[in-house]
Structures are given as C-alpha cells and as structure tokens.
Amino acid sequence: MKRITYRFVVLLVAELTLLIMILLDRSPIYLTPLLFLLFIHLGLFLTFPDKIEIGVKRDIYPKIIFPGDEIFVRLSLTNKGDGIDILKIYENVDNDLGRDFRAIISLAHGESITLEYSLKAVKRGRYSVGPLNLEIRDPMGLVIESLEVKHDDIVILPGYESHGWVEMKSSVTGIWPGNVIGTRKGDGLEFRSVKEYSYGDQLRRINWKLTSKYDELMINEYEAEKVTDVILILDTSGLVKGDEYIVDVEVNAAASILYSLLRMGNRIGIITHGATRKWLMPGFGKSHFLRILEALSTVDIGSVIPLSNIVERLPRLMLKPGASILIVSPLLSIDTVKSAYILRMDGYRVSIISPFLPLPEDDEKTMLMNKIRNIERINNILWASRFHKIILYSEYISIREVLKEALK
C-alpha cells in the first residue's frame, strides 16, 4: 500500500506558496527556488520503483524448543521487481522472547539477501514472531510503499526429566508386550502359581516334578507382562492470578510423569483443564509425546466448565474401566474431589498428585488469604484421602518416588 508522508505535504505546500508569491508579485525572485523544489519532487517520483515485488521467506530453528534454548530466525528476501534504494525492515516479536528486529538495506533487481537474528526461549507457551513489515522509501521519505508478511507461531515446550523404570501393575493391559505386570494370569516370565491341567492349557507349561508327585498333570502359571493405558488429568481449578508458579510446577511434573510412563512402553493420554481445555487419546511414540508437550505448553489459570462435567463423559471414551488415571491438581476446589470420586465409581484406579503451595509474604492481607486457602485445601485432601491415594509433591521430590507411590 502506497502512502505519502508529512514531508511530501510540506514540500507541496512550499511549492504552492512560491507559486502564489510569483503570481501576486510577478517577480522572478521566487522562480528559482520553485524550479529547484519541482526538480527534486519530480526526480524523487521518477526514481521511486514502479514494480515492487519482494519474495520473503522466514525460517525458525530449532523446530523443537525448550526453555533456555536459543531461537534463530532467518529472513530471506529476494527482489523480483525494480531496484530499491531504501528498504526498511521491521519485525514484531513477543516481549517475552526479545526485542523487535529492525534493519535498513538496499536491494537491487534480482538481488537476494539473508538476515538473521536470535531470540531467547524463557518460558513455556505459544508466541508469535511477526508480522514482518517492509517499507520502501525514496531518499527523502516523501512516499512510502508498505508490505506485510503474516506472523509465525512458535511453541516453547515445557521441560521434563526422565527418572527410569518404575514397577507398575494393572488389571487392564493391551496386547503388546511391555513392563506392566498384569493382575490376570497369562504369558510372562514371572512365576505366579501352579494349577491342575485343563483343556486348552499349553503342554510346554507342564510342571513334570509336581505331576509325578501328585499323579496329575500340573501347569505352571506366569504373570503376563504387557503395556497399559494411563490418562493424566492436569487441573488448575481454584488457582488465581499470581499462582503461575504452581501451574509451572504442575506442568513440569506432568511432563516428567508422562515421559517416564512412555519410556516404560505404555500408552499415555492427557486431559488439560484450565483456561484452555485439550485432550489426547492414549498413544505411543515420540511424535505423540511432542503433541502432549504442546498441549501442556499452553496450560494457564482459569476454567469455565467444572472438571466434574468433563470426567463424567470423556474418560469413558478414552479408557477401559480398571485402568489408571493420575490427577495432578492443587486440590483447591471441592469439584476436583468430586471428579476423582466419579472416576472411582466408574471403576478407574485414581491417584492424586498435589503440589505444595507456597506462602508468599507480600503483605498481611495476602498472607491471610493464603492461609485460608491452605485450610480449604487441607479439608479437600482429607476428604479425597478417604477414597484415593494422595501424593504431595514439590519440585525437590524425585518424580520416580512420586510414580512409585502413585502406581503401586
């Protein structure tokens, strides 16, 4: 879009003033400056490019970004139109990533140039790089042609840690071999018991020593080692502005727990309940885990629909009764306790992981409000502990210990 600047208006007013003075005074003294200004005006218009066509490509790398990583943005510009003497480049960047990028270059016809700048990933979340604004100017800035390139979104994923293998048992297992010891009998390496032979038992399981002792065919039974499905519900109910630190602790704990479960060969899924609600069916693999991290990256405080309304329907579409559901929640809302009870009545094994809440000492009013909130939380913990396993968690406690307690 082409537009004129205030300089153009000033120059035009000066030309008109000189012209009026010539007409009124009929004196040639004003003719020389008028001709000079007209010459400049005409020259600038003639030098301004007629055809403006700039190809722009923005590359952002690395593609997978975690807090603390350096982000590189590369802008590749190719001039497919007339030569440009002054090209002003301005790229908007989210304040949390760094400063806006600015540059002034010239670009001849057919010339290509690459510009690069870096940003810093500080905190998980979704951020924008752009839009990119290009301004083509004449040397005196009388006329400006503007172009805009739309923004690109980048997602900074939450950090996570791996804490190794944890023993886990489940009454609901899949068909794939894994590390979860099923509570039902089947194929496996762990010896469980001996029983009398019945039609359909595999002959290779015959215990010949006990068969000769009891004069009956006796069969060895083993514990089946399979994989299982686990759903993690991340809940922010009861949190208010200023509790962002607690949300970050919850998100990092959830990411580490899910990564550990995935490394054990299990299928993992997630439900996030906050300002935005997302859910992912249980699945395997690195790409699935990256989708989970992306869902966790945008978790924020605030909820409109109670969690109990969600758990009444959604988990039944994702898991069979008897499977494990882990709830990561501050337990500040009685609705979270109600939700866990609904899941238990539907036949799921429910464990609640709750982070410790800090007590900020900003002022007496804030301290009093936080003490009241902690009393409510203690009441919710006491109610929930009657039916569920409660694990209190802080960032200084190993996720492996939390998982051992939650899954045993």
Please say whether the structural domain 54-156 has been given the CATH code 3.40.50.2000. Answer: no
Q: Which two tokens stand for residue 231?
A: 């759903």
The CATH code for residues 229-407 is 3.40.50.410
Q: Which two tokens stand for residue 165?
A: 């293998």
Domain segments of the chain as ranges:
54-156, 185-226, 229-407
Please tell me the predicted confidence (pLDDT) of residue 181: 47
Q: Show pLDDT as tens, one digit a residue, over the chain (408 residues).
A: 555 555 566 666 666 676 667 666 766 676 666 666 666 666 556 565 668 788 999 999 998 899 999 999 999 999 888 888 888 999 999 988 988 999 998 888 889 999 999 999 999 999 999 899 998 877 666 666 788 899 999 999 998 887 655 555 554 444 444 444 444 455 555 566 777 877 777 777 788 888 888 888 888 776 655 567 889 999 998 888 888 888 999 999 999 889 888 888 788 899 999 888 899 999 888 889 999 999 999 999 887 788 888 898 888 888 888 888 999 999 999 999 999 999 999 888 899 999 887 765 666 777 777 788 888 888 999 998 888 889 888 877 777 778 777 777
Please tell me the predicted confidence (pLDDT) of residue 177: 45
Longest dimension (CA), the chain: 137
Crossing angle of helices 334-345 and 364-385, in 10° steps, is 20
Token pair 């993992």 is found at 268
Q: Cα angle at 64 between 60 and 68, to 5 degrees?
A: 90
Report pTM: 0.73
